[in-house]
């Protein structure tokens, strides 16, 4: 969303009838996912602001397949594309703002910006968000976390929008929150799948601005040292199983460097799949994911659960996958 002069919190305005955002037909999703692979969306929309998003949603046919995308850091769109509408929420110019003793952040805000905003206010507890490579909306949807903290630890309430363009403010206790999991409780009327996050209120504890900025620098240094940030990737591919680490299991199976087509398991961090130069296809990535799961199951009896969301249609048959270790 691109209108910075408006609060992300507002009510539905039926007097607005003109769509003002950008409609992108047959949009290549490889441009919008961090793996730099995948097919096209039937159409994508970039809303100007929340009011514009309301207008757009009200104009869609009932039952239209919908996908809200932030920075695409936890997403794979299959090569056959997504036969529906994608809403592109990331706004590179978005800023957080204070509201009483809380921070209000739009869903399109990059998570590291929220971390820095909180640190500069002398607040403690948001530093880990500097290591979350996505938007606030994506972090809410999957309860993203790292370094011992999770997004919903500090959330007091959220703002959502439904298919009809209606805006809602939801309490934290309306959601079932867990490890890489967020879903509205079944007792509530509107299912989670029909609502998308547009903003959230965070409450962090008082601390030292200097100490928070130092912690952010330390966490980012750890991230650079341990993760293949110089190559297209989608962050951690698998959830950590109870009392273990996915990376340890994958590495113990000898899968570091194992490749399919143009992609491979990172030599730097075994729970990352990298796509050097964007040469690999979505099918390469999905096949490698399944291969890693199968090998870990065969050798350890542990079923790895992907963190990444995989959507869309499979493409037509092409060349067979090329198995083996990829060169650097």
Residue labelled with tokens 């964007």: 278
Structure tokens at 118: 């909180």
How far apart are alpha carbons 149 and 165 in whole angstroms? 32
Hey, which bits of 79-194 come out as E strands? 82-88, 97-99, 102-106, 123-124, 145-146, 149-150, 155-162, 167-171, 175-178, 181-184
3 state SS of 146: strand
Which residue in the list 48, 286, 307, 326 is annotated as catalytic?
A: 307
DSSP-assigned letter for residue 305: -
Q: How far apart are CA 110 and CA 247, in angstroms?
A: 26
236 is catalytic: yes
Look up residue 97 and give its two tokens. Answer: 């703002």
Which residue of the set 34, 111, 212, 236 is catalytic?
A: 236
Closest CA to 121 of 209, 216, 214, 217: 209
C-alpha triplet 139, 178, 155: angle, nearest 5°? 50
Active-site residue flag, 307: yes
The DSSP call for residue 238 is: B
Closest CA to 235 of 143, 182, 142, 308: 308
The yes-or-no answer on residue 222 being catalytic is: no
- Spatial separation of the C-alpha atoms in residues 265 and 249, rounded to whole Å: 13
Pairing status of strand 309-311 against strand 75-77: parallel
Among candidate residues 12, 40, 78, 180, the one labeled active-site is 180
Active site residues: 180, 236, 307
């Amino acid at each position: 969303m691109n209108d910075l002069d408006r609060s992300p919190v507002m009510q539905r305005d039926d007097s607005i009838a003109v769509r003002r955002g950008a409609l992108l037909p047959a949009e290549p999703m490889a441009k919008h996912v961090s793996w730099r692979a995948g097919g096209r969306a039937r159409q994508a929309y970039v809303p100007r602001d929340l009011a514009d998003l309301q207008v757009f949603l009200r104009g869609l046919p009932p039952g239209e397949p919908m996908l809200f995308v932030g920075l695409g850091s936890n997403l794979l769109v299959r090569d056959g594309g997504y036969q529906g509408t994608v809403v592109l929420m990331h706004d590179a110019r978005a800023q957080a703002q204070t509201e009483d003793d809380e921070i209000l952040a739009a869903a399109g805000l990059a998570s590291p910006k929220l971390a820095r905003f909180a640190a500069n206010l002398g607040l403690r507890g948001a530093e880990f968000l500097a290591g979350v490579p996505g938007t606030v909306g994506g972090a809410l949807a999957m309860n993203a976390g790292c370094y011992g903290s999770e997004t919903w630890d500090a959330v007091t309430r959220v703002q959502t929008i439904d298919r009809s363009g209606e805006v809602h403010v939801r309490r934290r206790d309306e959601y079932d929150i867990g490890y890489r999991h967020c879903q509205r409780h079944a007792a509530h009327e509107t299912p989670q799948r029909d609502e998308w996050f547009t903003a959230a209120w965070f409450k962090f504890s008082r601390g030292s601005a200097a100490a928070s900025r130092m912690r952010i620098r330390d966490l980012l240094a750890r991230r650079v040292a341990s993760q293949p940030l110089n190559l297209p990737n989608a962050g951690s591919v698998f959830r950590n199983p109870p009392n273990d680490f996915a990376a340890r299991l994958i590495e113990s199976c000898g899968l570091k460097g194992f490749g399919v087509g143009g992609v491979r398991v990172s030599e730097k961090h075994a729970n990352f799949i990298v796509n050097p130069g964007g040469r690999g296809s979505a099918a390469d990535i999905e096949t490698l994911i399944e291969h890693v799961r199968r090998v870990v199951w065969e050798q350890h009896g542990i079923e790895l659960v992907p963190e990444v969301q995989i959507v869309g249609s499979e493409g037509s048959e092409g060349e067979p996958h090329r198995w083996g270790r990829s060169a650097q």
